[in-house]
């Protein structure tokens, strides 16, 4: 029993060290979650929307015809149900650095018979987003993966229409976890104002608004 306990402690310690190393390295390098981990990002995908995803979508206050950006979309946990919500005239842009993630979203879109999803292979903050285009932007456990978070939020601010909403979701389980205070500080520097908060220190949803009178 002692040997098993020692091995378990070593494994846990190695996991913690790896997570910390990943977090520190991401301050200098772009280190998105690997494609092979897509099952961990969306373990419940079976054609049904999970309770967690439904909660996130409620805070987006979506309506048909909206233009939505899923920034750092991963395997499409939010992309697919959001595309259903804004159809038939709305559009969702699935944006990710990794072609493998975008390919997964494409396959899921085909299976769901969705044709209102655009695909953009790019990083947030790279200057690839059009200005004044989106009604909503989704940022799920992504901000901490971006070395230049200021540039990322500035680009998102410019890409939103006045009155548009950025939804940020963070959980302590993610090695790149960002505190609410950090996000508010970075977001306010770009011009965002906090609209709504739900959750706690360890897991939360934060919505940020681009003021209606904001200059582009």
The number of C-alpha atoms within 13 Å of 145 and in the hemisphere containing its C-beta is: 19
Mean pLDDT of the 120-145 span: 95
- Could you tell me the pLDDT band of residue 175, with boundaries at 50, 70 and 90? confident
pLDDT in tens, 162-174: 999 999 999 998 8
**How much is the pLDDT for 214?**
63
Please say if the pLDDT value at position 29 is more than 60.
no
CATH number of the 32-209 domain? 3.40.50.150
**How much is the pLDDT for 48?**
74
- pTM to 2 decimals? 0.81
C-alpha dihedral (198, 200, 203, 206), degrees to nearest 10 = 30
Please say if the pLDDT value at position 27 is more than 70.
no
Domain boundaries along the sequence of the chain:
32-209
Q: Calculate the CA 120 to chain-centre distance.
A: 14
Tokens of 131: 């200005």
What percent of the chain shows pLDDT beyond 90?
Answer: 70
**How much is the pLDDT for 216?**
52
**How much is the pLDDT for 30?**
53
| 26 within 8 A of 143, measured Cβ to Cβ | no
- Could you tell me the pLDDT band of residue 44, with boundaries at 50, 70 and 90? very low
* Average model confidence (pLDDT) across the chain: 86
Mean pLDDT of the 110-123 span: 96
Under DSSP, is residue 137 helix (H, G, I), strand (E, B) or coil?
Answer: strand
**How much is the pLDDT for 39?**
54
What percent of the chain shows pLDDT beyond 70?
Answer: 78
């Amino acid at each position: 029993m002692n040997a098993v306990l020692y091995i378990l402690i070593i494994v846990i310690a190695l996991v913690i060290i790896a997570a910390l190393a990943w977090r520190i390295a991401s301050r200098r390098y772009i280190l998105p979650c690997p494609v092979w981990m897509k099952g961990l990002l969306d373990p419940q995908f079976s054609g049904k929307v999970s309770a967690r995803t439904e909660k996130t979508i409620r805070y987006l206050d979506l309506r048909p015809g909206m233009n939505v950006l899923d920034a750092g979309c991963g395997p499409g946990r939010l992309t697919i149900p959001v595309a259903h919500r804004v159809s038939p005239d709305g559009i969702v842009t699935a944006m990710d650095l990794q072609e493998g993630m975008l390919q997964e979203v494409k396959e899921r879109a085909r299976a769901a018979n969705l044709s209102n999803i655009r695909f953009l292979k790019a990083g947030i903050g790279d200057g690839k987003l059009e200005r004044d285009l989106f009604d909503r932007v989704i940022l799920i456990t992504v901000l901490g993966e971006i070395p230049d978070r200021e540039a990322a939020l500035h680009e998102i601010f410019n890409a939103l229409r006045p009155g548009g909403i950025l939804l940020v979701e963070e959980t302590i389980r993610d090695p790149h976890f960002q505190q609410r205070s950090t996000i508010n500080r970075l977001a306010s520097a770009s011009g965002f104002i906090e609209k709504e908060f739900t959750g706690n220190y360890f897991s939360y949803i934060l919505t940020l608004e681009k003021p209606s009178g904001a200059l582009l």
